[in-house]
Structure 1
């Protein structure tokens, strides 16, 4: 594996778990960090399909074995960042909690990813993305009037979880580089998902957002910011919230903006929505693309996973790539001087332990 990117030279230990912590580790690896996954003996590799494990090597360690405990401590001594996504107390029971790790390596950034956080009444309860997002108020804001809908696990696991873990450990690494002082980063999905709602709290403070779903500017209530079904049962999205862009959309689809204005107050939304529904249902998605795509009408087709990878804009930017026959998103964001890259395919546990030890400056 050959590292390149703005994090080249940064060493990361990832204790293998589910969801957000591996995604964070993937992001760090894509940006050039050398990430070593520590898995349990006998773990089964998912091979190339395990997209979240790309670009990193894995060693299998039995943390009840004295020899493997010693090797794990050697890795910790060399690491800049440690990532773990277990319930509070698990790493302590394994013998590698923050106190032990910082006694070995005082400058270590110790990143902890959980749903509820390291403390609080629910800290030790089981849960998943949907539960964490539900508690933050974010889930109540998503979906039709009738009931909230699960927003995949993008808002919690990855948006409010992995992204904040990555942000946190890199901020702490900046501090450690300047001072030599490591610290614990308590990244809780409830904290991150709540933080993602900052804009909605601003809009509520301004009096232009309420808690009823599909009655707000950006939640599908407005006729000028929503998706529409087309003649072929595919969908398109429109979002011209600015007057000049809305005027262009109206011109293109043949309605009078004065009759159905883009009023942010919601006064005419109930009347305008069925009008635009009938209009968009009169043509296929491709016909609407021919008329609207690439204009300032703030329009885009709603594409599925396969269609997205084939769209000319996505192809030209290289948004998706393929490794060992598996299509997947390419590293993001883009850097003008130090571009990131996927460091290599998924590797199984101990596939090249000797090379791992050499890379980490340890003897075989």
Structure 2
């Protein structure tokens, strides 16, 4: 498929006013930038907190640069008459507004949905918050860990109850905030094509966490049986979906769920035939597999599982993954951000197909200055 130039990007001509900070909103508007939208990021006096985060790169927080490249930044004090007037002017011909304040703050500033709709009835107004704009918990403070804890998702983690593990991914921020925001903004733009009207989007990061509990919910609603920590086919209750330490401390990630993969795995490691039926005594099978895996180093197991092709891999560090020829060949890290001083840094990979990006240049604009 031929690459598209800037003029053919699907969001060319779309102006987004971004009133978000930290992660969920900025990552959402970054994805819109990648698809051709113009994003004007409004920052309070002093700027987004993430500008000061370590490590620093070329005078700004590296994380800020990854999330906000390609945007234009304006400093506005929305509590002042001048700042409010400038925002009102921007909203008159904007297509999308994304905000991430606590519920009610935008209304206090004079920019609640009804007030903005009066300015521009075609605007798509997207609010991202932890618990949504309505309900008893709407104004409760929180971060990602709070959101997965309050929705029951964290209780499904497979670590020992007395040694709980903090997940490595910000699931609520990205999968509950960023992705639903982008999806619904695109749906709203399509709906506006049909109706000519804008709309209001209430994105609650906690809402999508129940989507991630799909397996536990299906069992609970169908049978009344509630999975707890470490229980369930996908949370450590079976030998087929388990993490096994190798002799050298490397981790073998086994996901041989289907019977043909499981039997292939059992065969190449030499599992006792009496334990292959893991439903008889799951704990015994897990222990036996664990002992076998622990008898050899991860590097010794790697070619065995690669040849067997049985949904079993060796856990890699992030550094090792960045050097994987597969991801390099797919061009995940070719996209780069350039600083005002001319230095470059790999751009954060985002799930926007390359055909929708600006094909005229492999380097996006530098992290925006205030």
Give the structure-1-normalised TM-score: 0.86
2:289 alignment partner in structure 1? 276
1:356 alignment partner in structure 2? none
2:67 alignment partner in structure 1? 52
User: What's the CA shift for 1:197?
Assistant: 2.0
Structure 1: state its 5+ residue gaps.
350-364
The count of residues paired between Structure 1 and Structure 2 equals 344
User: What's the CA shift for 1:3?
Assistant: 7.6
1:88 and 1:64 mapped to 2: Cα distance? 17
1:302 to 315, 318, 332: 315
1:314 and 1:30 mapped to 2: Cα distance? 19
1:88 and 1:201 mapped to 2: Cα distance? 29
2:205 and 2:7 mapped to 1: Cα distance? 29
1:159 alignment partner in structure 2? 175
2:219 and 2:122 mapped to 1: Cα distance? 41
User: Structure 1 residues 24 and 206 mapped into 2: Cα distance closer, same or farther (>3 Å)?
Assistant: same
2:248 alignment partner in structure 1? 232
Contact 2:268 2:308 in 1 (8 A): no
User: Structure 1 residues 121 and 248 mapped into 2: Cα distance closer, same or farther (>3 Å)?
Assistant: same
More divergent stretch after superposition (5-14 vs 177-186): 5-14
1:5 and 1:287 mapped to 2: Cα distance? 47
**Residue by residue, what CA displacement relative to the aligned partner does 1:100-143 show, whole Å, maximum 9, x if unpaired?**
21111101111101111111111112122111211211111113
2:277 and 2:71 mapped to 1: Cα distance? 49
1:329 alignment partner, SS class: coil
2:78 alignment partner in structure 1? 63
**Residue by residue, what CA displacement relative to the aligned partner does 1:172-201 show, whole Å, maximum 9, x if unpaired?**
222122111111111011111123223432
1:259 to 274, 278, 285: 274
More divergent stretch after superposition (114-123 vs 160-169): 160-169
Contact 1:204 1:210 in 2 (8 A): yes
**Residue by residue, what CA displacement relative to the aligned partner does 1:255-303 show, whole Å, maximum 9, x if unpaired?**
24x422354xx43210011111111112222222222126421022212
1:312 alignment partner in structure 2? 325
1:359 alignment partner in structure 2? none
1:3 and 1:287 mapped to 2: Cα distance? 51
Matches within 5 A, 1:34-53: 34-43=38-47, 45=51, 46-50=60-64, 51-53=66-68
> Are 2:366 and 1:345 equivalent residues in the alignment?
yes
1:328 and 1:105 mapped to 2: Cα distance? 34
User: Structure 1 residues 96 and 153 mapped into 2: Cα distance closer, same or farther (>3 Å)?
Assistant: farther
Contact 1:161 1:193 in 2 (8 A): no
Contact 2:31 2:352 in 1 (8 A): no
**Residue by residue, what CA displacement relative to the aligned partner does 1:26-64 show, whole Å, maximum 9, x if unpaired?**
222222222110112332642544222222121112223
1:329 alignment partner in structure 2? 348
2:54 alignment partner in structure 1? none
Matches within 5 A, 1:181-220: 181-207=197-223, 210-220=226-236
1:73 alignment partner, SS class: helix
Structure 2: state its 5+ residue gaps.
1-5, 52-59, 338-342
> Are 2:118 and 1:107 equivalent residues in the alignment?
no
Matches within 5 A, 1:55-204: 55-146=70-161, 148-204=164-220
User: Structure 1 residues 343 and 8 mapped into 2: Cα distance closer, same or farther (>3 Å)?
Assistant: farther
1:9 alignment partner in structure 2? 13
Taking only aligned residues, the RMSD between alpha carbons, in angstroms, comes to 2.4
Give the structure-2-normalised TM-score: 0.85
